[in-house]
Amino acid sequence: MADVQGTCAPGFEGVRDAIASTLDSGLDVGACAAVTVDGELVADVWGGLTDQETGATWGRDTIINVWSTTKTMAALSVLLLVDRGDVDVDAPVATYWPEFKAGGKEQVLVRHVMSHTAGLSGWQDPMAPTDLYDWEKATSLLAVQAPWWEPGTASGYHAITQGYLEGEIVRRVTGQTIGTFFRTELAEPLGADFHIGLAAEHDSRVARVIPPPPLTIPGEVDPQSVAIRTLSNPPLDASQSWEIPWRRAEIPAAGGTGNARSVATVQSVLACGGEVGGRRYLSPATCELVFREQCNGTDLVLGAPLRHGIGYGLPGELLPLPNARTCFWGGWGGSLIIVDLDARMTIAYVMNRMGEGTVGDDRGASVVLAAYQGIATRS
């Protein structure tokens, strides 16, 4: 059996076994998983390699790009401002970002942006991959762009754009970049090793993702469809995340760097009703906003059945979960975070070998199952 390091509280040993299994089977090369209950780590495990060629091992403090799992960090940042009364999810985005009302977007609301229903799932004007490092270009183009469908009527996965939209709201309200705001208001107080924009001092700990096979696009797909326009502009190669400029940039929907422990720790704020470690970050009422369903149907970009609340996905056909007050999201290739307010539990899985597709796979599911088996032993 694979050598998996870390600790598990009684009942949660299955989390270690799940990682050992995916490593033994070759599904994973290097991976980590973490579970919190009541804000405390009950499982924190890691194993495998960060580099197959050199044999470098995955360590306790290894961090890696987690793709769209970053979206939950951006969402939580916005919810902090909602809780303070600085942002209203039912207010037009232009309330905080006046230029945004161009292109007929006067009635695009903050909650539309947070639920992938704003009609801005991609850029209309051409974007090069390196343009993702240019905050002003990325946001100013979105500010003047017209929605691709009627906002609020359907979801179309805002794969990269969501982070710039939320981040610009944060910047306009606080005067800080979302990376700075997240770091000072969440990561540092929680002692969480998660970064939206990575400082050079952490480079030595960063593992590279192992890119997945290229996405195949059926020939009969309309090149002008929302899905193609979203996913092809800019074209994204997972190896771009190896670049130093990618690490340094704040790409709040796809560029966060961390590990399972840090993901689970940050999201324990929501799981615990807003209070962790004796500090209150959110009111219970703000936490409940996450469960206001914004859409429920086939996503225009992913082509999968999705339910979105405000900032998070909700249980449904794609991901059935045992407790009603549960939300989630995951990253390209397989990283995953589950936030269960009923169980006061978070479950996180992060790895380097990216699987196919964008909606997760059985590796993360095995960790989730083990966590729920563990929490059942406590009831």
* Positions marked active-site: 68
Angle at 358 between CA 117 and CA 234, to 5 degrees: 70
For residues 242 and 127, give the distance between their C-alpha atoms in angstroms, rounded to a whole number: 19
Residues 6+ apart with CB under 8 A from 310: 75, 79, 89, 111, 114, 115, 289, 290, 292, 294
Are 157 and 299 spatial neighbours (Cβ–Cβ below 8 Å)?
yes
First to last CA, the chain: 30
CA distances from 62 to 20, 23, 65, 205, 270 (A): 17, 16, 11, 5, 25
The Cα-based distances of 35 to 7, 333, 340 in angstroms read: 11, 20, 11
Q: Which of the 8 DSSP states describes residue 255?
A: B
Q: State the chain's maximal CA–CA distance in angstroms.
A: 58
Distance (Å, whole) CA 126 – CA 129: 10
Residue 299 CB-density burial (10 A; 0-12 exposed, 13-18 middle, 19+ buried): buried
Range 182-216 burial, b when 16+ CB lie within 10 A, else e: bbebbbeebebbbbbbbeeeeeebbbebbbbeeee
